[in-house]
Structure 1
């Protein structure tokens, strides 16, 4: 695997931003006695957009989990962008992080690196705020994402806003009443998906039973069941902590519908 730590000027954000990328090397087998073959296979790799939580940044998955080692075993590229405290949204008072994450970043990554643009090779996952962002990516763009996973996700962000738990997201949404039944409402997006006759991404939801977001995750699990939306749900001991996320990102990678034999040549 190669680790690429990249900064570039985003047109959507109107500023410099950073992204970490774990990239499979695709190296052919080498004859170590002669070292004759140092070529690389020309393949386009499946990709996981892996999103950080609130108060974290693009470095946290690398620093606090073993995602690089896990991704190497699967032969999948992992893209870890920075999104500040944006809830992966176009902020009312701030930057257009939804436009950046959902449009500009994938286009840039596919143009700059050997990353597949096929739906069946494209996935999203994240923790906490990033779990919300991952589901939002897949639910708003089911034609582009084959699967999404949320770990300890803030999936009922609307419910939290209604209860007055605005705090960190005041600058993101402004009036909380405008979030309900909007493109930023995971429950609204899930209902719309259930009524659609189009493509439907696979969804994976996991949360620790000691996590402060546990009840919100159970609520979403039950809502998806009511709508007959396909959802893989797992729970177990754990809080809102990296030990839980490091363990369960491995479960996510095992669950993803990867077929490395079909990557583009």
Structure 2
């Protein structure tokens, strides 16, 4: 009996140990090795296909932000989904029009997705994407432009609108410098010569005429980026998109995101496709 108990404990510990993995993708699109964190359910079975959730981090953070913000193993196990947290750097998950060696959108679909599908049995009907702050923008941007690939998407505290003067204000508030605008200029070019606003979520919704899917957006009531979420909420509702939104007490910080992300997974679970 004692041996059986020890074997059972050992199996549980082994499952937990291998439920999370970090590996690197040698990317031609980004000309570097890109770290990716994968969290599987604790009771993962290789013979079973799982829904997939891409989780994008915020500006000035990295692929480990989500695991520092919330219990990824619990989310993966409770909702029986595989979670993927790729490194996103500071370029808003975009193909750069200014840097030939930074084509993130191409990396995502041409290198990251195939690698995940090679390693894991994915339920392709149920691929979701979410993100916080910069990652909230990335999630909605990739979803709107590739809506046939994803089931649906979510954004928490999203930096959704690209406006030079507003970027400058936000950068000064959070970093006491113009580092955000300088990084964006490296990605999109001089704002006097290139129209940054065409990359805003509002512009994408206006220009993607065939887009008709719903998504989930939320933001803290005291978040400096709240106006972004409210703007997208009003635009989406005017287009009769079946969105859900939530404005809760909170600021632009991990305390808020650790709570808000659970709503994303509830939303994803409600939208699981069986056929």
1:21-64: CA deviation from partner (whole Å, max 9, x where unpaired): 0123555xxxxxxxxxxxx4512211000000000000111122
Question: Offset of 1:185 from its aligned partner?
Answer: 2.8
Pick from 233, 236, 242 the counterpart of residue 254 of structure 2: 242
Q: Secondary structure in 1 aligned to 2:122?
A: coil
- Count of residue pairs the alignment pairs up: 242
Greater relative contact order structure (CA < 8 Å, 6+ sep): 1
Q: How does 1:249-260 map to 2 (within 5 A)?
A: 249-257=261-269
- How far, CA to CA, are the matches of 2:255 and 2:126 in structure 1? 28
Pick from 196, 220, 233 the counterpart of residue 208 of structure 1: 220
Partner of 1:124: 129
Q: Secondary structure in 2 aligned to 1:58?
A: coil
RMSD: 2.1
Say if 1:123 and 1:145, in contact at 8 Å, map to a contact too.
yes
Question: Offset of 1:20 from its aligned partner?
Answer: 0.1
Partner of 1:35: none
Q: How does 1:31-180 map to 2 (within 5 A)?
A: 40=45, 42-91=47-96, 92-93=98-99, 95-116=102-123, 118=124, 120-157=125-162, 160-161=163-164, 163=166, 165=168, 166-176=181-191, 177-180=194-197
Greater helix share, structure number: 2
Q: Secondary structure in 2 aligned to 1:230?
A: coil
- How far, CA to CA, are the matches of 2:182 and 2:140 in structure 1? 22
| TM-score relative to the length of structure 1 | 0.84
Say if 1:121 and 1:258, in contact at 8 Å, map to a contact too.
no
Pick from 224, 241, 244 the counterpart of residue 236 of structure 2: 224
Question: Offset of 1:65 from its aligned partner?
Answer: 1.6
1:107-159: CA deviation from partner (whole Å, max 9, x where unpaired): 1110122223x2x31000000000000001110001101111000001112xx
